Structure formats: C-alpha cells, structure tokens
Structure 1
C-alpha cells in the first residue's frame, strides 16, 4: 500500500509513525525541531489520515506498508520511531527486517498483549451521524456525551474531514477499526531478537510500560533501555514535547 507521508528536513532518515486514531500531523511540533538534523518522514498508517483504507489491517501488513515506503524512497536503513500502535508497528518491522533499522524508538507501548480499552471512544465516534451533522460543534456535542475530556475529543475530531460535497466524513476507516479493534492490542513476538540500539520511552504517569514488561523487552530487544518522561502520560509527545525532543536527540546522537 502506498502510504501518505510528509517529508521534511535534511540528514539521515527518521521515520515516525502515529498511534491509533492519529495521523502524521500529531508529530508536527516535534518535526519542526528534529528536521534540523534529520530527513523526517511523517507517515499516515493505513486506515488513518490521508493514506488508503483497507479491510486488511494488522501489524504484518502495516510493517509491509513501511517496507514499501522505504523501498519507494530508496532508503536502505533508517531510524524508526513509533507511538502506541505505531510503536507496535515499528517493533514488528524491526523484528522482521532488522537490517533496515539503524536505531529504534518505541513511545509508550510494550510488546505484550493489551486488553481492549477503546470501546467508549468507538461508541462515541460511531454515534456521530457524519452524513447529517452541520458543523464540528455538532460532532463535539455528541462526542461529549461519551468523553468528558475536551483535549481527547479535539484529538479524535481531527479525523473528521470534509468530503467533495462539503459535508463531513471520517478520514479514519472507522468501520474496519471498530470491527477489528482487537488487533491493536496484539502481542508482538519473534524467535529472533532485534540487536540494534532500542529506546523505550514511556510517560511517567502512564501505565503502558510496566515493571512486568521488562523481561519481554529485554528478550526481544536485548540492546535496549527504558526511560520515563517526567510529568507525561500516554501522549508524552504532546504533553512534554521539549523533553521528548531532547531524549530523541540524545539517543540518536
């Protein structure tokens, strides 16, 4: 699949993948700083942003999408960074194609299985009649009945776009995501570890990377370290962008 991406900066290639319900735009503020040192590829994963949609959706095909992008761009090897779902994609890619990854950064996710926990979000998004609403406020009013946090609602509604007729449509493949949401939590595993330098970057206030995850991380990524960004939750790049930038620079250095 030919993924949509935004390319900026100069230097060695650094490819960044967003998380569930996100898009390449989520990393713009980070990119503005890192583009001074790297050629950045901010990628929309399949079923998100402006990339194509497909009923075929799992980490195997998402890793293959990334390989196709690198082949098209004639990138022999790159630094990879992924957040949440994107973190699982880059883990799967590095374990399958280790020769294509110089260093790996995984933002606030571990390789283990995660139980379903997006049901309320999906209920709220599916409750919005996108073919009938007249404004984003209409959508927000409906979503507020499911999600109180305004910041989360604003993030989710970034995926509400305009269609050719001037109405609204989802840029995410909401139908497939709803039907196959369990794949997001699937375990990433391999008989062959990834030996290159790897950084697991968690949020201090997040529970996505736990003490019990360290054994699996060490088994699959033996040349890895784990750091926690202070005063940050799961959305560490949005909550503490300066600390994330400093940490990424120090690791890739």
Structure 2
C-alpha cells in the first residue's frame, strides 16, 4: 500500500492537517509554521493530490484507510485532525471509524452531508490543461483556464497544481481519477449512514459568507459529534486563507484546551 506524502513542522502534540479538493499540503505552509511553535504539525497530501500517489477511488472509507496506514507508518498512535472541505469530510469519517486514534477534531467549513455538483467547470478546465501539457509559461495556462473559471483567485489556487518538470509545467493533481469518482467526494461521509458517533472534542469553524455549513445541517452534525462547538469567521469557503490570523487563533485555542 502506498503512503501519503507529508510535510512536518515542530514538536509536541501532533496536529494532522488535510487540505480540500484540488489543494495540497503546500497551501498550509504559513499556518503550519505558526502552529509549529506549540505543536508537531503534519500537513498531508491526500491521494491524487500534491506529491501523493495516484489511484482509482476517492471515497472517504478508502481515504480513511490511507490515513490509518500513514499514521501507523509514522508510529502516531493518537492525533488531532484538522480538515478543510474534502479534508474535513475525511477527518470526520476517520474520527467516526477510528475514534480511539483521534484526540480532537477540527472541521473547517464543511458539514457531514451530501452536496450538489458545483465543480463541473473547474474539472473541465483542469482536464483541458492536462490534455495540452506541458505548458511553458504559467500565464498561458491561466489564459486557457480562464475560459472555464472566471474568478482570478480561484484560478491562482488551481494553478498551484502546475509544477515544473523536465519538459515544462505539468498538472500534478490526478484530474481523471478525481472526476471519475467526484460523486464520492460530494457525498456524506459513509460512516454517517452507519450511525456512528465520535464523543471527542470537536470544533467546526464556518465562513459567515459561505453556504457550506447551514443551520439545517447542524442537527445531523451534532448527532454524530455530540461535543460539537461551532464558531465562525467573516470569510467565504477558504476561511483559512481569507482570515488566516483568526483561523490560527481559533485552532490554537481549541488545541490548548484541556
């Protein structure tokens, strides 16, 4: 079985950070360095993302097995998990399936429910980049992606997946594997249907200008995570980037609670 790639900063209580769809551990470098003053921060590249392996399947049960295997390989018995968006769903699935391996759970702007298809244009754009690689200049790739994605900040985020190779800039995210199993990504974590419960300390941080965590979702959230604390930041879905200081403080304070 292949092992997830990771970056490590600091010493102390382990905090494992998991990115969202089309993200990577690189997106968390700034926050990881700051948290490393107090904790041992492990930032993961999930399957089909970043420097990790490419394989079929994106369902959260399989991804939870990836995480379990990685923890065992690093001799980590119990960790606190922080996940944003897709990474948050994985964190919830893992906590529900392997509660004895989780100290605290932090979920950033996602709920344990199913969502609608919203990434069709992005997937189409990344498929086009993949088909036309290698790219010689990043601005050429950006011009191509702009035909599918209007928002400049979203394109800048997506283009972090273009990495330099011997032949030019190539897409490192496994877009075909992700597209093939996209439904599994937007579905609820499978452990929710099994009525599993995680009794440990749980913090959910939502963006006040995001619609990913809405009031009608909270009963389902609290059913599976009865110790849930809900906080918010004046931000959209990428709250950890838009309100980095506030996000840093909320996570740090929660991690330090007895």
TM-score strictly above 0.5? yes
Question: Could you tell me whether the CA contact under 8 Å between 1:16 and 1:82 is conserved in 2?
Answer: yes
> What residue is the counterpart of 1:202 in the other structure?
206
> What residue is the counterpart of 1:72 in the other structure?
73
> What residue is the counterpart of 2:139 in the other structure?
137
RMSD: 1.1
Three-state SS of the structure 1 residue aligned to 2:20 is: coil
Question: Could you tell me whether the CA contact under 8 Å between 2:134 and 2:167 is conserved in 1?
Answer: no
For residues 63-212 of structure 1, the aligned pairs below 5 Å read 63-128=64-129, 129-131=131-133, 133-163=135-165, 165-188=166-189, 189=192, 190-212=194-216
| Structure 1 CA distance for aligned equivalents of residues 155 and 12 of structure 2 | 36
| Structure 1 CA distance for aligned equivalents of residues 80 and 69 of structure 2 | 16
Q: 1:125 offset after TM fit, Å?
A: 1.4
> What residue is the counterpart of 1:233 in the other structure?
236
Extract structure 1 runs of 4+ deviating beyond 3 A. none
Three-state SS of the structure 1 residue aligned to 2:173 is: coil
| Structure 2 CA distance for aligned equivalents of residues 194 and 247 of structure 1 | 21
Q: Deviations over 1:166-194 (max 9, x none)?
A: 22321110111112211111112132200
Matched, 1:248 2:232: no
Matched, 1:220 2:221: no
Q: Unaligned regions of 5+ residues in structure 1, if any? A: none
Aligned length: 251
Question: Could you tell me whether the CA contact under 8 Å between 1:130 and 1:169 is conserved in 2?
Answer: no
TM-score, normalised relative to structure 2: 0.94
Q: Deviations over 1:197-216 (max 9, x none)?
A: 10111001000000001100
Q: Unaligned regions of 5+ residues in structure 2, if any? A: none
